[in-house]
């Protein structure tokens, strides 16, 4: 049996991620630990997805837990891609 995932939460999460990246940059999403300088801060990833979920229309149902998981994974994947691009750009 196939799983159906509400992709509207993913789309909204991408919009908020783009806005935050434009406003604060990719460094905003990184943990400030000196031993692991390129670790993503999970709380900031969750912030993007929760904000996207709250911004949905009031008449819509709350997204399924699997939709949250999928949106978090997509946001993390995009952030990892951007961190790697920044690392390559700076020559690390």
9-54 tens-digit pLDDT: 999 999 999 999 999 999 999 988 767 778 899 999 999 999 999 8
DSSP conformational letter for 26? G
Strands (E), 1-92: none
C-beta of residue 33 within 8 angstroms of C-beta of residue 39: yes
What are phi and psi for residue 87, nearest 5 degrees? -65, -45
What is the Cα–Cα distance from 41 to 38, expressed in whole angstroms? 9
Predicted structure pTM score? 0.84
Distance CA 64, CA 56 (A): 13
Do you know the residue count of the chain? 92
Distances in Å between the Cα of 85 and the Cα atoms of 26, 74, 80, 91 are 11, 17, 9, 10
Residue 86 above 80 pLDDT? yes
């Amino acid at each position: 049996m196939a799983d159906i995932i509400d992709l509207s939460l993913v789309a909204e999460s991408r919009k908020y991620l783009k806005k935050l990246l434009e406003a604060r940059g990719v460094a905003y999403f990184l943990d400030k630990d000196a031993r692991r300088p390129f670790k993503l801060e999970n709380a900031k990833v969750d912030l993007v997805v929760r904000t996207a979920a709250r911004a949905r229309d009031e008449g819509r149902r709350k997204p399924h837990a699997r939709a949250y998981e999928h949106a978090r994974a997509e946001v993390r994947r995009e952030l990892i891609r951007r961190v790697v691009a920044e690392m390559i750009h700076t020559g690390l």
